[in-house]
């Protein structure tokens, strides 16, 4: 299956999921609660995300956050993903994006993508030697035509966010 066929399959799945969510009022109530909590943390979240955007070029990596993190009252850790698969974490501390790759994420990335940099403990993004090697590794890996995450839903997420960025004009390549 080529990438275009895969994208169409993801598109079909997204449309089907949207239909299901529109039919179920329980999901709308649940997400309304999430939205209220996220709005309470909106300014802090935007500020941290802008610091990250202004100081780094992430592609082909993407920063994600979860509803749980946004609903929380603490720091915002951004999940760094490659083709939808979690490969590290970035936290903005004192205006600097700090990269962490746990031993578990390093091992998973080795299995999934052949990642060979190892765990990273608190290096400034694009400054620390291991952080630079981390970024360079994924820059090279995205060029491999047969690279795919083990779990197809990760590819779905990645494709959807890529298309959303294009349609909203925030693609930064």
Do the domain assignments include residue 62? yes
> What's the predicted TM-score (pTM) here?
0.66
Q: What are the strands, taking DSSP E only, across 25-152?
A: 61-64, 77-82, 85-93, 96-101, 120-124
Please write the tens of the pLDDT for every residue from 12-53: 877 887 787 788 778 777 777 777 777 777 777 777 777 666
pLDDT bracket for residue 173 (50, 70, 90): very low
* Domain residue limits at 24: 3-168
Do the domain assignments include residue 173? no
Please write the tens of the pLDDT for every residue from 114-170: 999 999 999 998 899 999 999 999 988 877 767 766 666 666 666 666 665 565 444
Predicted pLDDT of residue 39? 78
Predicted pLDDT of residue 172? 41
Do the domain assignments include residue 35? yes
Do the domain assignments include residue 47? yes
Q: What is the number of domains present in the chain?
A: 1
Do the domain assignments include residue 151? yes
Asked if 85 and 149 touch (Cβ cutoff 8 Å), the reply is yes
Do the domain assignments include residue 109? yes
């Amino acid at each position: 299956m080529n990438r275009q066929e895969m994208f169409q399959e993801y598109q079909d799945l997204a449309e089907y999921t949207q239909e299901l969510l529109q039919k179920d009022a329980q999901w709308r109530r649940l997400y309304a609660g999430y939205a209220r909590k996220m709005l309470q943390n909106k300014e802090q979240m935007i500020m941290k995300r802008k610091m990250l955007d202004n100081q780094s070029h992430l592609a082909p990596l993407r920063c994600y956050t979860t509803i749980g993190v946004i609903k929380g009252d603490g720091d915002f850790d951004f999940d760094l993903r490659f083709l939808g698969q979690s490969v590290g974490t970035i936290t903005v501390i004192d205006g600097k994006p700090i990269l962490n790759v746990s031993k578990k994420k390093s091992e998973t990335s080795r299995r999934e993508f052949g990642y060979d940099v190892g765990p990273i403990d608190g290096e400034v993004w694009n400054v620390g030697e291991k952080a630079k090697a981390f970024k360079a590794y994924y820059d090279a890996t995205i060029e491999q035509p047969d690279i795919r995450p083990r779990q197809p839903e990760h590819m779905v997420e990645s494709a959807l966010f890529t298309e959303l960025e294009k349609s909203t004009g925030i693609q930064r390549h």
